[in-house]
């Protein structure tokens, strides 16, 4: 998502170029061993522990919802957790996995504000328990031209919305994410306007596919994937799916969103996956599935609404070239 640079033109590391898990684990053990022999309580020891904690992966019980299982091959966990966009931790794909151990996903609260009859602040456990957790396998298509298939854990965002009772003035939902320079080194840079914010129109947010997400691969969200809570909107480009949310605000007017503010002619508010509407600097007709399609292999075709045709009814009569 670098501005004014075509990501397809940048040599990005293929997953095979990223440190394999066993090497990575050995490195961690190595750090832990050195740290153990050094004075206990040293910064290195703390670093090794924090990293191990961040990667621990507490299991989350969830029932698979067969109505939402993409038939595609699921992306390897290692690829899904080591090829990320999370600019609060750096702009390279491997930066979030390397740096996000400083994020503290507990304690965590999400405040629900604005045009609702029941504004409230929920801690992460209450949020998780608000509705039964489901596992859903969704495609995630990034505007940069790559995609993954991930088993997310969460429940329809509509479950939360119904419980807080939006007023008739609530036309949009705004998602505001954490921007704490102490935990997130990337927010000191000016690459985006912080906090990272995103938004949906109310009917989009109420669509059952929109997922309030607290886990993936049967465990709590790893820090680099947006712990402890994010949204996943699978028919839209990945940048609509804000990570590490701290506020959900119901508003009358279309909210400003980080990428739209930074490059309005490149990243629209709607951002529906659409192979017929190219990004000004590159085509959206095809995509590379991480872990499957190599740099030199033919890319696969991108599907309208990322293969979720049911959502077309949300956009009847709208010119999707204008509202990109
Ligand atoms: N959320 C925050 N807070 N910061 C970010 O930089 N990047 C977005 C989105 N959510 C981003 C974010 C982009 S561009 C994509 S493609 C997806 O997260 C990537 O999600 P993943 O790393 O879990 O695959």
Q: Answer positive or negative: Cα dihedral of 86, 229, 244, 279.
A: positive
- Structural domains of the chain, ranges and CATH numbers in brackets: 1-55 (no CATH), 60-315 (3.90.420.10)
DSSP state of 248: E
What's the CA-to-centroid distance between 194 and ligand 1, angstroms? 14
Ligand 1 atom with the smallest distance to the CA of 177 is 3
The number of helix segments (H) and strand segments (E) in the chain equals 8, 13
The mean pLDDT of 105-124, rounded to a whole number, is 98
The residue whose CB lies within 8 Å of the most ligand 1 atoms, and thus the one to mutate among 80, 86, 144, is 86
The residue whose CB lies within 8 Å of the most ligand 1 atoms, and thus the one to mutate among 243, 273, 279, 289, is 243
User: Which protein residue has the closest C-alpha to ligand 1 atom 4?
Assistant: 86
Residue 18, pLDDT > 90, answer no
Alpha-carbon gap, residue 265 to 282, rounded angstroms:
13
Residue 243: exposed, middle, or buried by beta-carbon count in 10 A (0-12, 13-18, 19+)? buried
Regarding the beta carbon of 85 and ligand 1, being less than 6 Å apart is answered: yes
Q: Which of 10-19, 201-210, 221-230, 245-254 has the lowest mean pLDDT?
A: 10-19
Q: How many CB atoms lie within 10 A of CB 11?
A: 7
The residue whose CB lies within 8 Å of the most ligand 1 atoms, and thus the one to mutate among 91, 211, 241, 248, is 241
Q: Which of 53-62, 114-123, 293-302, 311-320 has the lowest mean pLDDT?
A: 53-62
Alpha-carbon gap, residue 271 to 141, rounded angstroms:
11
Q: How far is CA 179 from CA 182, 194, 244, 285, in A?
A: 9, 6, 9, 34
The mean pLDDT of 95-115, rounded to a whole number, is 98
DSSP state of 168: T
CB 174 within 8 A of CB 251: yes
How do residues 152-163 score in pLDDT, each as one tens digit?
999 999 999 999
**pLDDT band, very low/low/confident/very high, at 42 (cuts 50, 70, 90):** very low
Ligand 1 atom with the smallest distance to the CA of 83 is 22
Q: What mean pLDDT, rounded, does the chain reach? A: 87
The whole-number pLDDT of residue 296 equals: 78
Residue 54, pLDDT > 90, answer no
What's the CA-to-centroid distance between 30 and ligand 1, angstroms? 30
Regarding the beta carbon of 144 and ligand 1, being less than 6 Å apart is answered: no
Q: Which of 7-11, 105-109, 237-241, 254-258 has the lowest mean pLDDT?
A: 7-11
Instruction: Compute φ and ψ for 274, nearest 5 degrees.
Output: -150, 105
DSSP helix/strand/coil, 272: strand
Regarding the beta carbon of 258 and ligand 1, being less than 6 Å apart is answered: no
Look up the pTM and report it: 0.85
Higher pLDDT, 167 or 49: 167
What's the CA-to-centroid distance between 19 and ligand 1, angstroms? 21
């Amino acid at each position: 998502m670098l501005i004014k640079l075509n990501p397809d033109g940048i040599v990005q590391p293929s997953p095979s170029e990223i440190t394999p898990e066993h090497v990575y684990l050995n490195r961690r053990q190595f750090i832990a061993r050195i740290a153990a022999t050094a004075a206990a309580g040293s910064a290195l020891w703390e670093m090794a522990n924090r990293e191990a904690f961040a990667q621990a992966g507490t299991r989350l019980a969830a029932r698979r919802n067969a109505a939402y299982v993409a038939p595609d091959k699921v992306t390897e966990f290692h690829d899904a957790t080591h090829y990320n966009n999370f600019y609060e931790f750096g702009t390279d794909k491997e930066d979030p996995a390397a740096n996000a151990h400083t994020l503290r996903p507990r304690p965590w609260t999400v405040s629900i504000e604005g045009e609702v009859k029941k504004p409230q602040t929920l801690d992460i456990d209450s949020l998780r328990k608000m509705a039964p957790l489901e596992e859903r396998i969704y495609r995630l298509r990034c505007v940069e031209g790559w995609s993954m298939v991930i088993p997310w854990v969460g429940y329809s965002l509509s479950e939360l919305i119904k419980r807080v009772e939006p007023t008739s003035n609530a036309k949009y939902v705004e998602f505001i994410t954490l921007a704490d320079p102490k935990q997130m080194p990337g927010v000191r840079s000016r690459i985006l306007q912080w906090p990272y914010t995103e938004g949906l129109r109310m009917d989009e947010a109420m669509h059952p596919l929109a997922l309030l997400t607290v886990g993936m691969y049967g465990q709590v969200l790893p820090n680099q994937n947006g712990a402890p809570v994010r949204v996943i909107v699978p028919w839209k480009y990945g940048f609509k799916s804000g990570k590490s949310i701290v506020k959900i605000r119901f508003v009358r007017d279309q909210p400003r969103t980080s990428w739209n503010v930074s490059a309005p002619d490149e990243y629209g508010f709607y951002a529906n996956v659409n192979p017929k509407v190219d990004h000004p600097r590159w085509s959206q007709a095809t995509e590379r599935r991480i872990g499957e399609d190599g740099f030199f292999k033919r890319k696969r075709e991108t599907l309208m609404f990322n293969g979720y045709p049911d959502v077309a009814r949300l956009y009847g009569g709208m010119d999707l070239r204008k509202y990109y």
